[in-house]
Chains A and B, each alone.
Chain A
Amino acid sequence: MATATPSPKVNHIGLPVIEYRGGKSTLCAGCGHNAISERIIDAMFEMGVEPEHVIKMSGIGCSSKSPAYFMSRSHSFNSVHGRMPSVTTGALVGNHTVQALGVSGDGDTASIGMGQFVHLLRRNLPMIYIIENNGVYGLTKGQFSATADIGSKLKTGVINDLPAIDTCALAIQLGATFVGRSFSGDKKQLLAMLKAAIAHNGTVMLDVISPCVTFNDHEGSTKSYKFLQEHDEAINEIGFVPSFEEIEVDYDSGQVFDVQMHDGSSLRLRKLLEDYDPTNKAGAVRTLMEAQEKGEILTGVFYIDTKKPSFIDLLGLVDEPLATLPESLTRPPKSALSELMTSLQ
């Protein structure tokens, strides 16, 4: 009796995981960015997001190349250095029915892109903004970026003498409504964070520390695999239940922070840090600043606000994408021009 080939596992929209894959990565073997691409694939697959519904956005740098390595069925825009926020803003205003996932790096965000980054946060543009943070410029062979920690050492022996910009503290302060940090090596945490991110309406800012195996993975670096394994401290354990799955109750409610997400799914943050409240802006920023002083690298979901309207909500747009509105809705009638001409006589 012939055995039937087992059909591949499909998600709730009937797609196998292969439909979420991209081209072969050209990044270095072992690069943290590749692991992040894998988690994005897993999260999109598990959440059953239609690939055509996603736009992948990026700037310039190693990180910004990575959208080529996942989800080939999604439109992608590799723009200019540090300017992915404005391109994404335009794209979402033009078509607010798609879901935007942006991948940036620490140079692309915290140096050349800082101007646009802060305004993206301020607008609470509905998108997932991932910083693949390795503390160095890889494509130009390993100069420090603005997220490199003070005292961190380059391979050449150069010590960084300027303080790191904490993109998470910045994001919380400036208006992002879902802010977290993870580590490319922490599969479970990153996957849960990404799945919750997909369910969020507003700016999701995820700072994912992603070691650069070529230029920043040595002794003395504070963005190396070894350093992260030793210093990564999670503030909460992330449980995410998508809207299409049933919630099982097994937590002691005193230990859990429950967040009802925009799309009906549920985010459960089990407290690892005593009394940490991820809806308290000031508390979140204080915790991050204190950790930085102690040299700790906190991970987890630091801040979440599911009520604040997104930039698109504020525009009061029609339901259909502006891009494809018919002429009858976009070109005013002849009578409108006549009226204007009369008023100018």
Chain B
Amino acid sequence: MATGDLALGQEQGASSARQRVTIDFSIIVATVNGSGSQSANSVLLKSIFGMGIPVSGKNLFPSNIAGLPTWYTIRASKYGYVARKRDSEVLVALNPETAREDVLALPAGGVAIYETNLNLKQYRDDVVCYPVPFDKLTAAICPEAKLRKLVKNMVYVGVAAQLLEIDLELVEKSVRKQFARKQKVFDLNFGAVKAGFDYAASTFTKQDPFHLEPMNSTAGKIIIDGNSACGMGAVFAGVTVVAWYPITPSTSLIEATTDLLRKYRTTPEGKATFAVVQAEDELAAIGMVLGAGWAGARAMTSTSGPGISLMAEFTGLGYYAEIPGVIFDVQRTGPATGMPTRTQQADLLSVAFLSHGDTKNPVLLPANVKECFEFAYAAFDLAERLQTPVFVLSDLDLGMNNWMSEPFTYPEKPLDRGKVLTAEDLNRLGGFARYRDVDGDGIPWRTLPGTRHPKAAYFTRGSGHNDAAGYTEKPDEYQAVMDRLARKFENARKLAPAPVTVKDGTSKIGFLAFGSTDFALRESLDQIKSEYGASVDYMRIRAYPFAHEIHDFVASHERVYVVEQNRDAQLASLLKLDLPAEQAVKLRSILHYNGLPVDARTITEEFATKEGL
């Protein structure tokens, strides 16, 4: 991957603003939430994608229904970088409330497209200004006054397309896809795009240095958000019971799952091979998941921080009574209510140890949409194999934003339904002990309710039990079960997704990270190489409990930087619990936790400071 092509205005002064910048900048669209800007943003994103350009979109939105400021950033990068860029160079200012602040945030040499009467030129003489009479243009093509607020956004798409040299035909295609089969809606929206395009073409001479040109980097690729990818993974895992309670930012995961279930899991007779239950709260949602998992169904829920806290008691029951279930946690900014529409990676310790007592839970850590899909179905296999609740830890940035990806591959391996004894097995065996380790892997056998055999039943309880599921307060019986549970968890190190060695060469310096931090970290490592000549190693952790390769990676480096998006260095803390003392001291942290997705520049600067470069 290539290297820090200097972003304009960031490392350079305003004076060199005229240097041509090709496919390496960000667009920021400032609007009001609830104004329908999402469709326009999506059309612009997909039009750029259609040019074959690697692109990523991020929605920075308020926790509000309508009327508050919202921003959408689109990054186009010929190098394939998709992380948030700290500065956006091209501003589309459609929100009068924030316009002044927005234009002041532009780097020198940036671009401002805005409603003429906002007169943003008064604030900056070092940015290129393109004033557009949006309201007038919109009124001309949209006679119906109440639709104008929505349609206005499409006018900006036309203006941006013209100025950034996006083929109008590609925009037309995107608009058509966006409003599939609704010809009237298409006509109105594309009319707006054209009005903006034509206005820009006849009014402006391009003065800014930002250019897009066709590439060939997106052929065959898909665009999807992480929540939809998780939902898709769950459906291809054969999930049958979904119980949930609405919470931002995980709601769209359930919505995507439900849509796919309705489409692909209804029999020709119109019967459902699934059930989606909107529970009364997260306590009930996880209770339903455990009830269904106990009955033998593949069950899931999806939530975010506050919901995770509420699920604590039941998670411990699932761990101790050994009941499978999959819990998606789309992390948002905590603590408490925190910032519901901002991102963070601060639930790691919570989910790893969720519940009182010696509870430990496997956690899968997808870093991109493809892994959202893959880990979603892997989680169901793992939960049934290990008979325990398994967490899939995504985050708002990954979950709610659109990402480019290779298409997902169909899981060829059959479902692993774990160790379940049937009535025939019981005939052969003459009985079973629910919590006995007969195979030496710490994983016992179970039967499902309704199994028609007089010896099938057992008593499931969260109270002290022996290996035959009988109530016990005997020290040795209790401890034997706890020790087996520990062995089972140890076993999970090998069963959960192995870490990915992104680069392991001869460097003394290693990096560890998990989840969506990967996007920015990869870009940062290129910056570190090009700007400081340091070629460092990087391993991405993909699951807890940690695989032994992670120990080896730490052991083979002098210093290991752990990059994560929380204040308290949660991954580093979890690693320190796992590593021998002489290895644990090698860890140092680079942390980012202001609610915005981490960007490469922040990591690079922090690394340089810590290394004294």
- Distance of A85 Cα from B461 Cα, bound (Å): 15
* A68-B471, A77-B460, A344-B223 given; A89·B281 CB < 8 A: no
List which B438-490 residues lie within 8 A (CB) of chain A: 447-454, 456-463, 471
Asked if A75 and B271 sit within 8 Å, CB to CB, the answer is no
Asked if B448 and A324 sit within 8 Å, CB to CB, the answer is yes
- Tell me how far the C-beta of B259 lies from the nearest C-beta in chain A, rounded to whole angstroms: 11
Asked if A87 and B290 sit within 8 Å, CB to CB, the answer is yes
Q: Which of B10-18, B143-151, B232-240, B514-522 contacts A (4 or more CB under 8 A)?
A: B232-240
Contact of B289 among A76, A90, A324 (CB under 8 A): A90
Asked if B222 and A79 sit within 8 Å, CB to CB, the answer is no
- Tell me how far the C-beta of A139 lies from the nearest C-beta in chain B, rounded to whole angstroms: 11
Is A318 an interface residue when CB atoms closer than 8 A count as contact? yes
Q: Which B residues are in CB contact (< 8 Å) with A317?
A: 271-273, 275
Asked if A95 and B450 sit within 8 Å, CB to CB, the answer is yes
- Tell me how far the C-beta of B466 lies from the nearest C-beta in chain A, rounded to whole angstroms: 14
* A79-B317, A90-B290 given; A337·B410 CB < 8 A: yes
Q: Is the interface of A mostly helix, strand, loop or mixed?
A: helix
Contact of A89 among B220, B274, B277 (CB under 8 A): B277
Residue in chain A with minimal CB distance to B453: A52
Residue in chain B with minimal CB distance to A345: B222
Q: Which B residues are in CB contact (< 8 Å) with A327?
A: 238, 414-415
Residue in chain A with minimal CB distance to B180: A343
| Binary A-proximity of B294-312 (CB < 8 A = 1, otherwise 0) | 1111110000000000000
- Distance of A285 Cα from B185 Cα, bound (Å): 53
Is A334 an interface residue when CB atoms closer than 8 A count as contact? yes
Asked if A79 and B287 sit within 8 Å, CB to CB, the answer is yes
- Distance of A228 Cα from B281 Cα, bound (Å): 37
Asked if B238 and A330 sit within 8 Å, CB to CB, the answer is yes
- Tell me how far the C-beta of A108 lies from the nearest C-beta in chain B, rounded to whole angstroms: 13
* A90-B291, A119-B280, A323-B296 given; A52·B456 CB < 8 A: yes
- Tell me how far the C-beta of B444 lies from the nearest C-beta in chain A, rounded to whole angstroms: 15
Residue in chain A with minimal CB distance to B455: A73
Asked if A94 and B295 sit within 8 Å, CB to CB, the answer is yes
Asked if B275 and A80 sit within 8 Å, CB to CB, the answer is no
- Distance of A90 Cα from B279 Cα, bound (Å): 10
- Distance of A90 Cα from B288 Cα, bound (Å): 4
Contact of B314 among A74, A80, A97, A338 (CB under 8 A): A80
Most buried by B among A88, A116, A332, A338: A332
Asked if A88 and B291 sit within 8 Å, CB to CB, the answer is yes
Contact of A330 among B273, B277, B279, B410 (CB under 8 A): B273
Residue in chain A with minimal CB distance to B415: A327
Is B224 an interface residue when CB atoms closer than 8 A count as contact? yes
* A75-B460, A332-B264, A344-B222 given; A87·B240 CB < 8 A: no
- Tell me how far the C-beta of B216 lies from the nearest C-beta in chain A, rounded to whole angstroms: 14
Q: Which A residues are in CB contact (< 8 Å) with B171?
A: none
Asked if A97 and B292 sit within 8 Å, CB to CB, the answer is no
Is A265 an interface residue when CB atoms closer than 8 A count as contact? no
Q: Which A residues are in CB contact (< 8 Å) with B459?
A: 67-68, 76, 78
Is A30 an interface residue when CB atoms closer than 8 A count as contact? no
Is A321 an interface residue when CB atoms closer than 8 A count as contact? yes
- Tell me how far the C-beta of A48 lies from the nearest C-beta in chain B, rounded to whole angstroms: 15
Is B265 an interface residue when CB atoms closer than 8 A count as contact? yes
Is B498 an interface residue when CB atoms closer than 8 A count as contact? no
Q: Which A residues are in CB contact (< 8 Å) with B458?
A: 75-76
List which A82-114 residues lie within 8 A (CB) of chain B: 83, 85-95, 97-98
Q: How many A-B residue pairs have CB under 8 A?
A: 219
Q: Which B residues are in CB contact (< 8 Å) with A68?
A: 459, 471
Asked if B463 and A83 sit within 8 Å, CB to CB, the answer is no
Asked if A318 and B457 sit within 8 Å, CB to CB, the answer is no
Is A49 an interface residue when CB atoms closer than 8 A count as contact? no
Q: Which A residues are in CB contact (< 8 Å) with B222?
A: 341, 344-345
- Tell me how far the C-beta of B356 lies from the nearest C-beta in chain A, rounded to whole angstroms: 11
- Category for how many chain A residues contact B: 35 or more
Contact of B451 among A52, A92, A329 (CB under 8 A): A52
Q: Which A residues are in CB contact (< 8 Å) with B415?
A: 327, 330-331
Asked if B232 and A340 sit within 8 Å, CB to CB, the answer is yes
Is A166 an interface residue when CB atoms closer than 8 A count as contact? no
Is B135 an interface residue when CB atoms closer than 8 A count as contact? no
- Tell me how far the C-beta of B265 lies from the nearest C-beta in chain A, rounded to whole angstroms: 7
- Distance of A83 Cα from B452 Cα, bound (Å): 27
Q: Which B residues are in CB contact (< 8 Å) with A53?
A: 450
Asked if A321 and B295 sit within 8 Å, CB to CB, the answer is yes
Is B407 an interface residue when CB atoms closer than 8 A count as contact? yes
Asked if B284 and A94 sit within 8 Å, CB to CB, the answer is no
Asked if B283 and A83 sit within 8 Å, CB to CB, the answer is yes
Asked if A332 and B235 sit within 8 Å, CB to CB, the answer is yes
Contact of B410 among A72, A92, A321, A334 (CB under 8 A): A334
| Binary A-proximity of B403-416 (CB < 8 A = 1, otherwise 0) | 00001101100110
The count of chain B contact residues (Cβ–Cβ below 8 Å) is 71
Q: Which B residues are in CB contact (< 8 Å) with A80?
A: 287, 313-314, 317, 462
Q: Which A residues are in CB contact (< 8 Å) with B291?
A: 77, 86-94
Most buried by B among A119, A317, A331: A331
Q: Which B residues are in CB contact (< 8 Å) with A92?
A: 291, 295
Asked if A90 and B235 sit within 8 Å, CB to CB, the answer is no
Is A46 an interface residue when CB atoms closer than 8 A count as contact? no
* A52-B450, A119-B280 given; A331·B275 CB < 8 A: no
Contact of A318 among B236, B238, B273, B411 (CB under 8 A): B273
- Distance of A77 Cα from B170 Cα, bound (Å): 58
Asked if B232 and A323 sit within 8 Å, CB to CB, the answer is no
- Tell me how far the C-beta of A51 lies from the nearest C-beta in chain B, rounded to whole angstroms: 8
- Distance of A166 Cα from B407 Cα, bound (Å): 57
Asked if A329 and B275 sit within 8 Å, CB to CB, the answer is no
- Distance of A248 Cα from B238 Cα, bound (Å): 51
- Distance of A75 Cα from B277 Cα, bound (Å): 24
List which B244-298 residues lie within 8 A (CB) of chain A: 260, 264-265, 267, 270-275, 277, 279-281, 283-298
Is A322 an interface residue when CB atoms closer than 8 A count as contact? yes
Residue in chain A with minimal CB distance to B264: A332
List which B545-592 residues lie within 8 A (CB) of chain A: none
Asked if B236 and A98 sit within 8 Å, CB to CB, the answer is no
List which A5-46 residues lie within 8 A (CB) of chain B: 19
Asked if B450 and A321 sit within 8 Å, CB to CB, the answer is yes
- Tell me how far the C-beta of B296 lies from the nearest C-beta in chain A, rounded to whole angstroms: 3
- Distance of A338 Cα from B471 Cα, bound (Å): 50
Most buried by A among B223, B260, B283: B283
Q: Which B residues are in CB contact (< 8 Å) with A1?
A: none
Is B512 an interface residue when CB atoms closer than 8 A count as contact? no
Contact of A316 among B271, B447, B454, B457 (CB under 8 A): B271
Asked if A318 and B267 sit within 8 Å, CB to CB, the answer is yes
Contact of A76 among B267, B275, B279, B457 (CB under 8 A): B457
Q: Which A residues are in CB contact (< 8 Å) with B296?
A: 94-95, 321, 323-324
Residue in chain B with minimal CB distance to A321: B450
Is A55 an interface residue when CB atoms closer than 8 A count as contact? yes
Is A249 an interface residue when CB atoms closer than 8 A count as contact? no
Q: Which B residues are in CB contact (< 8 Å) with A73?
A: 454, 457
- Distance of A72 Cα from B457 Cα, bound (Å): 7
Most buried by B among A77, A88, A116, A316: A77
- Tell me how far the C-beta of B299 lies from the nearest C-beta in chain A, rounded to whole angstroms: 7
Is A2 an interface residue when CB atoms closer than 8 A count as contact? no
Give 4 closest A-B pairs by Cβ, nearest first: A90-B291, A86-B287, A330-B238, A94-B295
Contact sample, A vs B, 18 pairs, CB 8 Å cutoff: A52-B453, A55-B295, A75-B448, A78-B463, A86-B288, A90-B241, A90-B243, A93-B243, A93-B292, A95-B448, A98-B449, A316-B270, A317-B275, A318-B267, A324-B296, A325-B273, A330-B238, A330-B274
A78-B463, A93-B277 given; 19 more Cβ-contact pairs under 8 Å: A52-B452, A73-B457, A75-B458, A78-B462, A83-B283, A83-B284, A83-B314, A86-B287, A87-B288, A90-B294, A93-B291, A98-B295, A115-B284, A322-B273, A324-B448, A330-B298, A332-B264, A344-B224, A345-B222
